[in-house]
Structure 1
Amino acid sequence: MTINPRDYDLNELREMARKRGDGEVDGRRADPEDPADPAEMDWGPLGEGDDVSMSAGDSFRAGLYRELLPLIGGSDDLEKPYLHSIPDTYAAEFVVFEWLEFLLMHAGYKGAADALHYYESIDWITEDVASRLNDYLLGIDENGSNDGVDLDVDDHMLSLVYVAKLTNMQ
């Protein structure tokens, strides 16, 4: 089972990034023409006169796309919610704790819980998975607090990568 990034609502992710107040993402104005779907990106060879400068945010996002691309091939039967249950393996548990630690470090307890609720609302995960992940959150010791810090589009894309990894472990 694979995750197809074309199946999630990218407009919702973009809207969340714009709601940060000033419409800036990673210190620059959000570009509504920025291709968000890997299928829309120009992956061809560079030609003469092509701009080869890339910001750290663009490089990170391209890395996320590269990680998601192998997951979209092969399965046409993928339906939302992508993650129906958390696999019962040590590898899956490691991925879950890595993902939750990432959310806690970037958004604090409230932000991580809100993100899980959001992922449930857009059908990336089921209600049962969200409940189990929230239970795991209670058992993780948070170093410092980032409550009130909003996750950006790249953070949500990374969460989708974690969802895809867990889905492929089922």
Structure 2
Amino acid sequence: MAIDPRNYDLDELRAASGASPAGGAEWPSEGDAERGADESAQSDAEAADRPAAAAAFESSVTRDLVAMDHQGGPLDRPYLPALPASLSAEALIFEWLEFLVLQAGRESVADALAFYESVGWLGNDAAAALEAYLTGIDDARANADNDLDADDHRVSLHYVARLASIAGR
């Protein structure tokens, strides 16, 4: 099922993706999406200090957010009121939480989930369920001294969008 971009705040997506029009230019038209994705892939390929898998994932996130940006419609919050009940959703949830825990440790992830709930990315039920999942995740490789940055939150928004698409929102 495709992500329904009508459920997302376009300004929030733009800010989360780090995208901004250069020199005060207008946001690209729908026909420019493919060209923008190609340019994004080129800039990702040029970043030699990142692993290829990380560059490919970031490029995928950017393409998804650009695609959502080119759609219009009424906004509905929260984006993810409750977690979808499926095996694929559960695998995605564990993948997302593991990513966040490895980035900054469990305590920072709990703070991030509370923040996502406060800004409307998650509903009360989704936040509570994610907290329950989080109690079962611990990894010795976690970088607890690190803080989650804007890129990490952008990845989280991508996971929220993917889970919302599984839920049919």
What is the letter of the counterpart of residue 143 of structure 1?
Answer: A
Q: State the partner residue of 2:123.
A: 126
Q: State the partner residue of 2:39.
A: none
Tell me the secondary structure at the aligned position of residue 131 of structure 1.
helix
Alignment of 1:1-170 (within 5 A): 2-3=4-5, 4=8, 6-8=10-12, 35-36=19-20, 40=27, 54-55=46-47, 61-71=58-68, 76-170=73-167
- Measured at CA, do residues 70 and 2 of structure 1 come closer, stay the same or move farther in structure 2, by a change above 3 Å? same
Q: For the residues of structure 1 that align with 2:78 and 2:13, how far apart are their CA atoms?
A: 13
TM superposition shift of 1:75: 6.7
Q: Is the 8 A contact 1:71 1:164 kept in 2?
A: no
Provide the aligned C-alpha RMSD in A: 3.2
TM superposition shift of 1:163: 0.3
Mind listing any 5+ residue stretches in structure 1 that lack a counterpart? 15-33, 47-51
TM-score of the aligned structures, taking structure 2 as reference length: 0.68
Structure with greater helix percent: 2
Q: For the residues of structure 2 that align with 1:116 and 1:153, how far apart are their CA atoms?
A: 14
- Measured at CA, do residues 129 and 169 of structure 1 come closer, stay the same or move farther in structure 2, by a change above 3 Å? same
Q: For the residues of structure 2 that align with 1:44 and 1:128, how far apart are their CA atoms?
A: 36
Q: Is the 8 A contact 1:82 1:124 kept in 2?
A: yes
Q: Is the 8 A contact 1:5 1:68 kept in 2?
A: no
TM superposition shift of 1:102: 0.4
- Paired residues, what number? 143
TM superposition shift of 1:141: 3.0
What is the letter of the counterpart of residue 12 of structure 2?
Answer: Y
Q: For the residues of structure 2 that align with 1:96 and 1:80, how far apart are their CA atoms?
A: 20
Mind listing any 5+ residue stretches in structure 2 that lack a counterpart? 37-41
